[in-house]
Each structure stands twice: as structure tokens, then as C-alpha cells.
Homo-oligomer: A and B are copies of this chain.
Amino acid sequence: MARTGRPRNFDRDEAILKAMMLFWEHGFESTSLAQLRAVMGDISAASFYAAFDSKESLFREVVDRYIATFGQATATLIDSSLAPREAIEQALRSSAKMQTEETHPSGCLLVLSASTCSFENVHIREMLTKERALTRSRLFDCIQRAVSNGELPASTDITMLTAVFETFLLGISTQSRDGISFATIDGAVTQVMGIWDRLADSA
């Protein structure tokens, strides 16, 4: 049975995608309700709040959507059918590829859209901090798996090696914003993966 009431005359899913592009480019606080309503097809404030409750609630939906789509660049990290090294290398290369694409804002939304914010929105920043922590723990698990496998020596400092790849991964956001090409970053990934190989050889 179809739902009752007057149907909304804009595409909610499409509106979230448009909102994502704004939040991605300008960040949570610097994106205004007026801008959001404009890209959603000049909908009224009433329509906006009826559909999304609040700016913050919309942002949470946007983050979820981002993770389910563009954020899948790091999905290889939880694919246990891949060798840990390949999982990490693919996560780095796919992230570099995605973040430098010109069909959407550059860099990573989870890194850039609330890197700084006002006191009253600290919880928004912490929300993204938690998402990054999730990626970090997946990286950690990947490396731990390699140590268990014997691909990396038992003496490997997993926390430190996680930092090697994660620091580089996070840096791609600002590099992309600064206009560094995919080819250049991809070449850098090759060098960073050399760190893994050198540690593996010493096993």
C-alpha cells in the first residue's frame, strides 16, 4: 500500500547527493541552509525540515551515503580474500584515484568537512574522527593479519606501521585539494608500498 499524504515534489536521494557535494566542498559549518535548499531545487525551508529534520541530521545522512559510495575506495581493507599488502595498496591507489577525480570535490569528505569547527559543533567533528578511527583499525587489522600470516616479521611494530599508511592516506586529501595529480600521488604510493616490501624481506 502506497503511503498517504501529499507527495514530496523533489527527489530526496538526489537532494542528499547534491548536499554531499556542498558539504564536501565547503565543509559542514560553511555550507548554509540557503545553499542546500538552492541546490535541492529551491525548495522551501519547510520542505527542507520536513524531509531532513535539521542541517545536522542531513549531514549524518550525507556521511552515511559518502561511506557507502565514494568511501568504498578503502573497502579492500576488510576484504579478507585479499592479501593484506594488496588490500592496503589498493586502498591507497583507489583513494588517490577517487580523491583526484574532477566529477566531485577533491579530497576526502571525512577528512576535510569538519577538520575544524566551532565549539558548539565538536560532536560533528568527533563523528568524523570516529569514522577515521574505523579505517585506522581496519588498517591495523590488515597489518596484524600479515604478521600472523608470516608476511611481515613478528617483531613488526603494527601501530607504527599503521601510522605510516594512515598518515599518507590522510595527506592525500590536502594534496588533492592542492592540485597534485593522480599520477604523482600514485607514484608516491609505489614508494610507500616499498616500505612494506623492505620489512617483508627482512622477515
Within the complex, the shortest CB–CB distance from A103 to chain B, in Å, comes to 18
- Distance in Å from the Cβ of A159 to the closest Cβ of chain B? 6
Contacts of A177 in B (CB 8 A): 115, 129
| Chain B residues whose CB sits within 8 angstroms of the CB of A25 once the complex forms | 116
Q: List residues of chain B with CB within 8 A of the CB of A195.
A: 191-192, 194-195
- Chain A: number of interface residues, binned into ranges: 35 or more
The residues in A between 1 and 55 inclusive whose CB is less than 8 angstroms from any CB of B are: 25-27, 29-32
Complexed CA–CA distance, A195 and B199 (Å): 12
Q: Given the complex, which residues of B lie within 8 Å of A178, measured CB to CB?
A: 129, 132-133, 136
Of residues A111, A163, A187, which shows the largest number of chain B Cβ atoms within 10 Å of its Cβ?
A163
In angstroms, Cα B160 to Cα A180, docked, is: 10
Q: Interface-forming stretch among A60-68, A69-77, A83-91, A168-176?
A: A168-176
Nearest CB on B from A183, distance (A): 8
B164 touches A167 (CB 8 A): no
With A167-B172, A171-B170 already in contact, the answer to whether A191 and B160 are too (CB < 8 A) is: yes
Tell me how far the C-beta of A179 lies from the nearest C-beta in chain B, rounded to whole angstroms.
8
- Would you call A139 an interface residue if the criterion is a C-beta within 8 Å of the partner chain's C-beta atoms? no
Q: Which among A161, A170, A173 has the greatest number of chain B C-beta atoms within 10 A?
A: A170
B163, A26: Cβ atoms under 8 Å?
Answer: no
A112, A116, A157, A163: residue with the most chain B Cβ atoms closer than 10 Å:
A116
Enumerate chain A interface residues (CB-CB to B < 8 A): 25-27, 29-32, 111-113, 115-119, 121, 129, 132-133, 136, 157, 159-161, 163-164, 166-175, 177-178, 180, 184-185, 187-188, 191-192, 194-195, 198-199
The 5 A-B residue pairs whose C-beta atoms are closest, nearest first, are A171-B171, A27-B116, A167-B171, A160-B187, A170-B171
- Add 12 more A-B contacts to A26-B119, A166-B180, A192-B192 (CB < 8 A): A25-B116, A26-B116, A26-B118, A30-B117, A115-B116, A115-B174, A160-B184, A161-B191, A166-B175, A170-B173, A194-B195, A195-B195
